[in-house]
Structure 1
Amino acid sequence: MKSPNTGLYANLAKYNLPYPEAIFDIQYFHMDPRPFYHLAHELYPDGSRFRPNICHYFIRLLQEKNILLKLYTQNIDGLERMAGILPSNLIEAHGTFATAHCIRCDKEYSQHDLEQAVLQKQVPKCKEPQCQGTIKPDIVFFGENLPESFHSHPQDAAEADLLIVMGTSLEIEKKRMAIT
């Protein structure tokens, strides 16, 4: 996503954002969720374009052998779920598209409701008559805290016999500019 000239942030000019990271900035989302939803249409993990790879199935094998304590992922693509990793074994550190909530009244919305809007390039709105707030997938935007599930298992590292880190540098370089 962050590869120079070819990564996600390098290809956001068409959204006319004040800075590339605004696409995932919660303050900007509150002001204008349309760029995020146009991008979400391109990235949505509907299973037709993106598929789990051998690493996802390796983790599922660990689960099947009952030796997986937890899988922590920073990915929001849902490929772990597609591969069959049970939600009880999964800590999605940057959240998930599997659930969504209204940013105004916090009503929960299903993945199906969110998916229909995303695939139609629409900004989903709350169905509560008095609300009409914007529905946001439960992914973590800049300016939001990591999900409670990320913090609720502090003993995992101490209990693990083996820790496997793959597919990440465990770093995020973030350059921010003020929203104008």
Structure 2
Amino acid sequence: MIAPDLQTASAALRALVDASDRVVPFTGAGISTESGIPDFRSPGGLWTTTQPIPFDQFLASRDMRDEAWRRRFAMEEYFGKARPTRGHLALASLYRAGKARGVITQNIDNLHQAAGIRQEDVVELHGNTTFATCLDCARTYELSDVRRKFESAGGRAPDCDCGGYIKTATISFGQAMPAEAMQRAQAWSRDCDLFIAIGSSLVVWPAAGFPLQAKKSGARLVIINREPTEFDSIADLVVRNDIGDALAFLIAH
């Protein structure tokens, strides 16, 4: 069912949540736009003007590593100031109520953790941009330390003490998906009784397959997204209203 209005959407979603014990929220960029973080993929998004740097280019070219870090620090005005949205707070409320064991997210902004979901209960499919790691020894770095080295070197990307390349802890195009996160997301999707896809276009695979996995395993499926998705036809409820408005009842719970 495509909800015809917000009141219908909220009532139907509340009924589904109340009837469920194992809810899995799955979030995409749409849940964070209210915080000021731009959507990358949508028309007019950042990637329409600036193409992302593939992982193989990052590894092969010092200039590409320099550019990758220049872009990340340019984005700090968005990521550094971002605060959890009503949607993040609503899902944190669902988590605290024991309805959801955590959240699966395609986002890299750390806002689910900031809203109150423990780090170990946030399954990050595309990593996290709020810190960096060495690709060789896995040492972690604060972005402030990387930036200081970057600027003192005249805009050159610093390397780890072990000689490895330092990169934000995100998954780039062409980089292997995190095996543990993928396994956990699969297990949660198969075990839930309600799967709620929120603010995702559901076009990026393999992550987009989790709603389908949940549905095939017997769960009810809700999709909350402004634009149609290819899974709308199999969803039990489709909500095209604002995410914060649609989930507001959870904050009041």
Q: Deviations over 1:23-71 (max 9, x none)?
A: 2x11111112111111111224886421110110111101111221231
1:9 aligns with 2:9: no
Structure 1, 151-160 or 85-94: larger mean CA deviation: 151-160
Residue 100 of structure 1 and its aligned partner are, at CA, apart by 3.0
CA distance in 1 between partners of 2:77 and 2:176 (Å): 23
Out of 86, 107, 115, the position equivalent to 1:54 is 86
Partner of 2:144: 115
Q: Which has the higher helix share?
A: 2
TM-score (norm 1): 0.75
- Structure 1 pair 60–45 and aligned structure 2 pair: CA distance change class (3 A): farther
Q: Which has the higher contact order (CA 8 A, sep 6+)?
A: 2
Structure 1 alignment gaps of length 5 or more: 13-19, 174-180
Out of 174, 177, 194, the position equivalent to 1:143 is 174
CA distance in 1 between partners of 2:178 and 2:79 (Å): 24
TM-score (norm 2): 0.55
1:69–1:160 contact (8 Å) kept in structure 2? no
Larger radius of gyration: 2
CA distance in 2 between partners of 1:118 and 1:43 (Å): 12
Q: How many residue pairs were aligned?
A: 157
1:45–1:78 contact (8 Å) kept in structure 2? no
2:92–2:116 contact (8 Å) kept in structure 1? yes
Amino acid at match of 2:168: P
Partner of 1:177: none
Q: Deviations over 1:95-129 (max 9, x none)?
A: 112553222x323113x2x3332476552321x2x
Mapping for residues 30-179 of structure 1, pairs under 5 Å? 30=59, 31=61, 32-44=64-76, 48-103=80-135, 105-110=136-141, 112=142, 114-118=143-147, 123-126=157-160, 128=161, 131-153=162-184, 154-172=186-204
Amino acid at match of 2:42: S
Out of 24, 27, 39, the position equivalent to 2:56 is 27
CA distance in 2 between partners of 1:81 and 1:45 (Å): 19
CA distance in 2 between partners of 1:172 and 1:77 (Å): 18
Tell me the secondary structure at the aligned position of residue 42 of structure 2. Answer: coil
CA distance in 2 between partners of 1:152 and 1:74 (Å): 15
Tell me the secondary structure at the aligned position of residue 165 of structure 1. Answer: strand
Tell me the secondary structure at the aligned position of residue 198 of structure 2. Answer: coil
Tell me the secondary structure at the aligned position of residue 97 of structure 1. Answer: strand
CA distance in 2 between partners of 1:95 and 1:47 (Å): 14
